[in-house]
Each structure stands twice: as structure tokens, then as C-alpha cells.
Amino acid sequence: MNEYDSRIIENLMLRKGFDLSNNPEDADIVVINTCSVRGKPESKGIEVAKHFKKRGKLVVITGCTAQQKGDNLLNVADLVIGTRNFQIIPEAIKKGYRNKSFLDLKTFCDFYFAERRAETVLEYVVIQEGCDNFCSYCVVPYTRGREVSRPPEKILEELKYLESKGVKEVTLLGQNVNSYYYGSIDFADLLAMVDKKVNIPRIYFTTSHPRDISLKVIRTIKNCLHVKPWFHLPLQAGSSKVLRDMNRGYTKEEYLEIAMKIRREIPNATISTDIMVGFPTETEEDFEETLDVVRKVQFDNAYMFIYSPRNPSPMYFRVKEASLDEETASKRLRRLIVEVNRNILERRKMMLNREYELLIYGPSKKSSKYSKGKTENNITVVVQGSFKEGDFVSVKVTRISGLTPIGLPQKAGVPVTSE
């Protein structure tokens, strides 16, 4: 979401006559789009603001940390702009506003389409802003406001524009896309509509909330041509007690049932997840329940992290410091990573000797003789040969390196250079 917002801000500034500098040290104005989902990115954003302020730049701080800390950031920035006020940035700079904040969360600024340019193969489209879930560890409902769904015709208009520009992959974005609702159109209806009317080869969506994902959504995806079967389904914890304390709205059993439904309905679907360890009420037994879910679901990918107390989330006020000591939390995280990776490896091995159509999105980090791309269910594969971004290449997976499948090109796609 932040990456998307940064692109929108960049385009907005360019359209209003500003130039883009490749090096912030050379710029007159520095716009910092911040994240406050965990403590580390939050302090990093503030440090960056301090650094540029000291160097005499005009500093604009925006995003979730700006929304959350508001006027308190005026000592490190000239302008503090909330998550629903981006459109004001160029005007505020030009009018010479300084030492000022714009933090109104009431309006949903649906200015996305007007400000976008399609310049990459992989693009995003916002379908929903904000969140109404109030999970007890999370600040998003306070930093991004209440949930608002965009009208389907605006989403379709933006997707058609991206289609006309040759974009190959789009991810539909929202904090809880499954609760999308506009008039009588729910998320499954929106997906069916997009699939029928938009001819972009690969369409994904994120993030799903396990409580809200319905069988109707799963079956709709099963019948879609362009919407691909990748489900990012944050687990957060495997213990029903911890899930209740997190205010997640589902139990361990309900989560497992949804995951199994996906695996049953769409056997080639991938399921990725987010898992948190060290939540203040998590015991060793609760943590074992998380490992149990990991073994049962066999995730294809996972983002794993230690609980980070976030002000103003409800849990922050109940337990200001994480009740678990750092060492225990780190130990649990390490055990979790080992278990998750073991399961991922099993899933990756199932890819051996099979053919996949890869969408190439760049050179491999390790060698220019290799390219990286994604299968249609969103697994990154490295392929021998240097292919163009946006190419579709048929690949046979021949080995697994770490957790990454490596393959040889089969027929489609001509390498720019190859070994």
C-alpha cells in the first residue's frame, strides 16, 4: 500500500511541475512516506526526516507515522500530511505553508486514477481504504481511518487504463478486501466483473481477512481466467485464546477450515501468511498451536515477526511492554522460521520437473545470466537466461536452491542473452 501511495505522490508532484531527483541528498524537497506497523520502520522514518531537516531541506512527512504522531513531528518536518491528504502536498509547498499539518481522516480522496502513470509491468489498484477490524495489536484503523470501498466503475476504469498501457500484472489492494462492499456488489461480484471485463493476464488481491473470506470468493476465483489463485491469509497466531485476545474474529479451527477449503477447491492455489510471535498473552502451549497450524496448512510463503507494542492499539494500553522477554520471543521466532521453511521446502519440491509459465520481472540478484519471474500462483522462480521484464517464459523447474525453484526455459520467450 505504501509503495503504491509513494508512486501516486511522485506522479502528483511531477504533474504539478516538480522534478524528481534520483538522489535525495541533491533534492530541495524531501517527501518521506512512513510506515508505523512496527516500531522499527516508524523510528527509521523519523530518523530520515531528522537527517534531511538538519541538512536544510524542506521536509514533508506523510503516511501512517505522520497520521499517528501529527503535530509532534513538526520538529523534524516542515509539513505533516496524513494518509488521506496526499493531494494537498504540491499546493501546500507552493503556497509556502510551513510548520503545518493536514490530518483529516474523514474524506476518502479518490484521486488515484488521475494521478497514475503505468510504467511498470507489475501495478497496483486500490479498491478499498482503511479498516474497521480493530485487531488489538494494530494501528491501521487509527492511521488509515475507517473502511471505505471504491465504486466498481472507478476500479474498472483504472484497470482498463492499465490494460491499455500493456501492464501484465495488477494487485487489487485493500486492508481487508473480502469485506469490499459497494451498493449490492460484494468482493466476489467485483472479482467476477473484473475478470470478465479486464484483459490483464494476471490479477491478484491482498489482503484477505480469514474471518471474511467466503466460499463464494473461493469458487469465483476457481472460475476466473485472469484472477489468479494466490491467497494471502494472515494467521497471526494458531491458538484460539491468543486469536481472541488479538480480536481477530476466528478460531484456530475456523482458520484451518478456510485453508482446507481453498486447498480442496483449488489444488494449485498458493497460501501465504503473516505470523506474529510473542504476543503478550502467548504461552509456550499457545506457540505450539501456531506450529501445529503451520504443519497442517503448509504455507507457500510467510512473513514472520515478533510482536511490537503499537500506540494507540488497545493492547498497547493493556500491556505497554511486551510481557515476553526478548530472548524467549527471538527463540520462538527462530523455531517458527525453521518450521515454516521446512514446510515451504516440501511445497517447493512438488514443483520439480513441472512446467510453469513465468512472468519475468527482472534480472536475478545473484547473476545477470539468470532472470527472476513469478508463476501464475505467485511463486518466484529463477530461470536461466536473461529475459526482458514483462516476457512470459515457459520454464521447467529442475532444482531448488534454498527455497527458490530454479528452472530452464522451455519454448516461449527468447532470451536477450543466455548461457
Quick one: 83 or 176, whose CB is closer to ligand SF4? 176
| Residue 272 C-beta: closest distance to ligand SF4, Å | 15
CA distance 126 to 236: 24
| Per-residue x/- track, 74-113, ligand SF4 (CB under 6 A) | ----------------------------------------
Rg (CA), the chain: 22
% helix, strand, coil for the chain, step of 5: 40, 25, 40
Cβ closest to ligand SF4, residue 135 vs residue 172:
135
DSSP E strand stretches across 235-327: 270-277, 301-306
Q: What's the distance, CA 17 to chain centroid? A: 30
Cell of 394: 515457459
Q: 141 vs 415, which CB is nearer to ligand SF4?
A: 141
How many other CB atoms are there within 10 angstroms of residue 381's CB atom? 21
Which of 308, 364 has the CB closer to ligand SF4? 308
Query: Is-contact 200 226, C-beta < 8 A?
Result: yes
d(CA 398, CA 353): 6
Region 205-224 residues binding ligand SF4, contact defined as CB under 6 A: 209
In the bound complex, what is the minimum distance in angstroms from residue 108's beta carbon to ligand SF4?
A: 16
Identified binder of ligand SF4 from the candidate list 175, 239, 281, 378, rule CB under 6 A: 175
User: Could you give the string, one character per residue 106-145, with x where binding to ligand SF4 holds by CB under 6 A and - elsewhere?
Assistant: -------------------------x-xxx--x-xx----
CB of 419 to ligand SF4, least distance (A): 44
Q: 247: which residues sit within 8 A by CB, 6+ positions away?
A: 133, 134, 135, 136, 314
CB 40 → ligand SF4: shortest distance, Å?
Answer: 17
Nearest distance from residue 142's CB to ligand SF4, in Å?
9
Least distance in angstroms from the C-beta of 85 to ligand SF4: 20
N-to-C CA span, the chain: 38
Q: Rank residues 27 and 319 by Cβ distance to ligand SF4 and give the closer one.
A: 319
**Closer residue to ligand SF4 in complex, CB, 88/315:** 315
Q: Taking the complex as a whole, how short is the minimal distance between the CB of residue 63 and ligand SF4, in angstroms?
A: 14
In angstroms, the CA 374 to CA 359 distance is 5
In this structure, what C-alpha cell is assigned to residue 63? Answer: 503516511
Kindly state whether residue 310 participates in binding ligand SF4, applying the rule CB under 6 A: no
Q: Rounded to the nearest whole angstrom, what is the least distance from the CB of residue 209 to ligand SF4 in the complex?
A: 5
Judged by beta carbon, residue 140 or residue 329, the one nearer ligand SF4 is 140
Q: What is the DSSP string of 33-90?
A: EE--SSHHHHHHHHHHHHHHHHTT-EEEEEEHHHHHHGGGGGGT-SEEE-TT-GGGHH
**Nearest residue to 254 via CA among 291, 297, 211, 217:** 211
- Our CB check for ligand SF4 shows the closer of 209 and 374 to be 209
- Binders of ligand SF4: how many residues, by CB under 6 A? 10
Q: How far is the CB of 130 from ligand SF4 (least distance, A)?
A: 9
C-alpha neighbours within 13 Å on the C-beta side of residue 189: 11
Residue placing its CB nearer to ligand SF4 in the complex, 133 or 311: 133
Contacts (Cβ under 8 Å, ≥6 apart) of 339: 291, 294, 295
Binding site for ligand SF4 (CB under 6 A): 131, 133-135, 138, 140-141, 175-176, 209
